[in-house]
Structure 1
Amino acid sequence: MHIHVLSLFPDMFSGVFGSSILKKAQEKQAVSLAVTDFRAYSGNKHNQVDDYPYGGGAGMVLKPEPLFQAVEAITANSKKPRIILMCPQGERFTQAKAEELALEEELVFLCGHYEGYDERIREHLVTDEISIGDFVLTGGELGAMTVIDSVVRLLPGVLGNGESPVQDSFSTGLLEHPQYTRPADFRGLKVPDVLLSGNHANIEQWRREQSLYRTWSRRPDLLVNMDLSPAEQKLMTKWENVKNN
């Protein structure tokens, strides 16, 4: 996969792209990452990429020319890359969206600043608009980093254990079960006996129940349309009765 980011502050990505899993993913040639300062496509001697909004109002708006020309330049030899606009008005980012984007060969992220984008960018240039939550940042860079990290870790061979992304929270529809490691007894705080039993069937059942309980107690909204077994529904009824008594 190739990922290209258009930003007014490319230095923000140096540490993130040069560390941890993203660095290893590039070393394994699972992904190539590039960042371009789209001021280079401003077309004016002052490198101005924003202007006052028509009709008046506070703030400045990103002009269409720099982003259109930057995207056209970096995708000249591409097929049909996904062009992603980081925007608080966009689709709420989810694990399902990360899994969808991980199937693409090329992604282009547009990171804006100021008051917003010229609407023609939204309507005629991008294929996706993504928000990482119901809040506003000073720019799209941090949001793009979040999405890129989430997508790249799903690429084949990036994580050491191929099962890791499959068992993540949200990948199964449930939050992930509790995890424990050595020592088995830390200051009197003990690892659940079932995890030390060696009985894999019992361990898997325990993990499923723990995932279900954690989701029920923390994110019940995730269970609304989930197909649960009669035994799992009975468990939730039991937890609900305990909670109400």
Structure 2
Amino acid sequence: MRPQRLVDAVLFDTFGTAVDWRTGVAQAVSQFTSEVDPNEFALAWRGRYQPSMAPIRAGEREFVDLDVLHRENLEATAAEFGLDLGNSDPSDVDHLNRAWHRLSAWPDSTPGLTELKREFIVGPLSNGHTALLTNMAKHAGLPWDVIIGSDFTRTYKPDPNAYLRTAEVLRLPPHRVMLCAAHNADLAAAKDVGFRTAFIPRPTEYGPAQREDLHATGVWDVLARDVVDLATQLREHASA
């Protein structure tokens, strides 16, 4: 009798867990302008990410996708840094805003996902919408089996529906789905709705000054060094 796999699908937080957003966004900023520190601008732009989604999660605003929120946050961040986007070619501003579509994977992501997909369904469970995640996958070489964007779930993590609706699309009960993330709060929300959980550290996600999510702070099903190690541990579990 074949050993029981722990789950059927292993889904991934994407920004920060599967891809290195800070480096990619900072590079795009540096190509757009020399008037600001690109790393500081990238961090400030990202800092508006969760607050911008809060009204949608609270039902105070209709769902809009991340391209809209990123553009609003870009304009606010530019104003904060004294950068006048009105002096730039609109197509250049649009290209900068779509930097989030062109992020590169961490070195272990693609080989780890390639190993995982031999046994499991792999895909993102991200606040990104389907087009963004598809463009990112093509750019970064992420070998997803399936992409279910937030435009399907119509909400943003950590709203429970972001996780549950994704499982429903896959026709899987929550306990047969694992979320892998570098963020303890994301894993806590997934665990609360019945998902299995795996933590991998990304201690340089926010740069050398990062103070949060340096290690696991919850009781997760798997603690892995990286995505390759996660694949190894899940494979060993199935053969035990």
Scaled by the length of structure 1, what TM-score is found? 0.24
Q: Relative CO higher for 1 or 2, CA cutoff 8 Å, sep ≥ 6?
A: 2
In terms of fraction of residues, the more helix-rich structure is 2
Larger C-alpha radius of gyration, 1 or 2?
A: 1
